[in-house]
Structure 1
Amino acid sequence: MRWPIPTAISSTAKAFLHRQFFLKNGIPPSIRLCKLRAFCSSVDYREILRSGLDGIEHDEAVYLFKYMAESRPLPHIIEFNKVLTAIAKMHSYDTVIRLWSIVEKEEDIEISPDIYTCNILVKCFCSCYQPCLALSFLGKMMKLGVEPDVVTDSLLVSGFCRINRNYEALYVVEQMKKMGVAPNVVVYTVLIDGLCRSGLLNEAVKQFGWMEKEGVTPNVFTYTSLISGLCNACKLSEASHLLREMISRNIDPNVVTFTVLIDAYVKAGKFSKFKELRQEMIKMSIDPNVFTYTSVINGLCMHNHVDIAVEAYKDMLSNGCAPNVLTYSTLANGFFKSNMFKKGIELFQEMSDRGVAENIVSRNTLIQGCFQAGKISAAEQLLEKMPAHGLSPNIRSYNIVLAGLFSYGKVKLALGKYEDMQKTRNDLDIVTYTIMIHGMCKDGKADEAYKLFCSLSSYGVEPDDKAYTAMISGLKKNGMLARAHALTRIYQKYKRNRGSI
């Protein structure tokens, strides 16, 4: 049974593929003509593959794959793998999956996949956020005699970690071990990074210990992932210990390693430690990058050291490191919080003069700055004009405006904005509802706020710590003590179930 495409279309597609491919690669007209005449010959696809597939387009690669599948004798699996790899590199993962599913269904196309085919498909499934389908596909391949390797292992672990299904990733590693596939440094690093990102620090530390016992030496990326996890858990001394350990083992930290630590220390207000790390970077000839500087500026602004943040910004410029939109937004936010509205505006103007385009983050920062400066109408106009400036407001944009209106007692405007949001947006989050609860309670509408709180689940949102705190506080301030105490008991049960207490 042949591919289900009409012969005329198939012939046209082949000619199109051939013409486009050789025109792109600059092959002389006489040779192109010979190639065109020989296109349907059995060696034609091999010549195309030998020429390289770097410049091939999506449709051309699909037609080439189909032509190869119709060729007799069938090309070797290595040739099919080349085309599938080219399509995967275009991030057209669904196309790879579709093409291979057609091959599997066609009775007269007997292509024997190898481990490379398997890994290409596993990667495509995982890149489509379908690691379970990748696992199922692997099972099918194993029935055909294809045994997984460490690359398969790393792809599956990465796929499960990407969607925060870390225990499935752990299961994959254990099952692979039983099949004789020992995890390497890549597998362990991906696993540790995924565990740290999901807050499963103890398990990450446990896996770090396992890899050492199994004789797998961690690299700079392994250490950096674990250091990041420790910093996020506010375990800064342990993170610093790991830095010293990796240096003692002649594993050089990179700028990312230092940036993670510097970010944590400046946020914690431990500026002397930041200076030590900066000196260590200088000693190791590691230049800070835009993320390092932005982290420093952010931490300094958090602790109201805007003047020192400005010095860090100047140091950044003098060292030839170009600020990005996040750098400008972070420093501008520091100015706004310190009641330096004019300096914030001037900084955004400097950003524009330097050719750095604004984005949703910088616009949100500017809107918040306007509210902090009491410029309510200007803030609302900045929100309204976003689409005209090529920016699409996100839920944070609206939340900033909603909170700003409530903070200035513009309750009627805030309620009107909330009604508009309900009609035009489907992404209202717990932050939105917490702002509403707090604002209504402050205006003496605690009963309405409580009704909103009780209906959160019907909106597909569950209350968090801030929502509970805002509601309980609002009830108490409005004299509704019995209801406040009852909700407090529910909140304590919620925290126990979550494991916070």
Structure 2
Amino acid sequence: MLRIRKVFSLALALFHFPLRFSSNPNPKTLKTQARKSPQIQKSNALINSAGRFGDRRVPAAGPRSRYYPVPVPVPIPEEPSNPDVESICSLLSEPSNRSKDLDFLLKEFKQTLSSDFVLEILKKHRTLGKSKTLEFFSWAGFQLGFRLDDPVVDYMADFLGRRKLFDDLKWLLKAVSSNKGRVSTRTVSICIRFLGRQGRVEEALALFETMESEFNCFPDNLVFNNVLYVLCRKDSTGGFVDVAITIFRRIGHPDVHSYSNLIVGLCRFGRLANAVEVFHQMSVSNLAPTRYAANILIGQLCELGGRNQLIEKVKVKDWRRPFDILVPNIWAKSGIETAVEVLWAITKLGLLPSSHVVNGLVSELCRLGSIEEAIEILKMAENRKMRSIDESYTIVIRVLCGLRRMDEACNLFGRMIFLGLKPKLIVYNSIIHSFCKLGNVAEAQDYFDIMNKRRCEPDCVTYTMLIHANCANRKWEAAYELLMEMVGLGWNPHFGTYNLVNGFLKEYGRLDLSQKLERKMEVENLQAYCKAGKLEAAYDKLSSMLAKGFYPPVYARDAFEQAFRRSGRWKIAQELLARLDQIVSKNSSQA
């Protein structure tokens, strides 16, 4: 099978490459030609990193049809695996050899054991299984006196940690160190990280404190970072924050992860002042925190301003009768100001927090009245092409509409359309409501038309605002059309809205339109009752319609009939429908 695969790959190479092969190409010939051709050397590098490509000569984009070669693969034969490794794997996997002693079973391979050889077999753990892998490593370790290279010990530590075999993990470290083997800092960091993931914070800290005395291994930044990760992010009690600060001060040259882990730990347990101080130290070193640490820090500062209102109650106890007084809360403002400072410092370092954090910060700034600063942050997010900033636009536009700063609100609305964002219903309603309050019904109608063109469905609030605004300007025709459209869409208007429009119709002598409006509402209410299964209300509604001389259209009658048939109460509805048929036939005969 391997030979067929090689022949097939060589045939592909002959088809794709304009190279002169011999009549019987072989892998050595291919390697020689690839070594001579710089173009093929480049394609080999691409193959090793990105996989296989097909050979095409693609025309370049532009007015002139120039052709350039796409990197093409050179088939490199697969290196054969070590036959001793395959033999050991087959012996260990054989069911009949499960009860046999490994020392007897593998006695022929004792002389060929080495660290690289052991590592190759350990990488076959999917074939061997967990128990056989552990048995082989124990046997090979005793054969080599546990004087193994770092990659073998690191691999085994990772193998044991992923399977939560922490007792075996401790045995591994002691076995290597007691036999004058070398325990690397990478091995210790792997053990600390896996212990921390399982919540064994004290064990991870104990391993860190004893690594120098027991294993003669001095911590580097990798070990420090893993310890800080465990103490700051995996501890749920908060009792190791001071220990984490002490360990952090022992680091000679802290890196990004050292600072970021400490910032996260301080933020998790409410020590925001210390977290901001650590961030300033980090920015002085021209280091940007991780995005997760930046999100935690800014988010916690925003929540500090949100939890503490601008005005808070203070209890006065010095008097005989204690009482409360209202005082301004400076912490609410200072927390947001610090969050803004951190945001600008982070952006200068080339990092941008998540859109959720930016939205929260913009919301708090608008709540505290710092709208200009919120707009500046919004422009920065737009220039950095941040995703999901439509929520920030929504917040700022609503606040501007509330302050009747319509020019700025409309400009931001235009920016949303230009950026391809889809404004939500609440944005349209805020703009329409503000224009209606200002008496500018024409502008409100324009945004209502934009709303329909952009397929944002209006709701009952949208129609109600426009109807009342048109009635305030005595434009009863437009109000009547909007109300009819609203009822046709299934929105039930408020009683006051209906009376307002109906009053204008009667005032101007349009009793026909008033009657049409009333009939339309009766029919829509009848359909709504039938759809909701409110049969008693539907029966009463149809009876009142017949008493007023309103006869429902065919589709309303069919809905009424189907609703009663589904509920098994068809006999009750049959009498009313028979009465309706008699009235309709009588009126048709008179006509």
Provide TM-score, normalisation by structure 1. 0.46
| Highest RCO, 1 vs 2 (Cα 8 Å, sep ≥ 6) | 1
Provide TM-score, normalisation by structure 2. 0.40
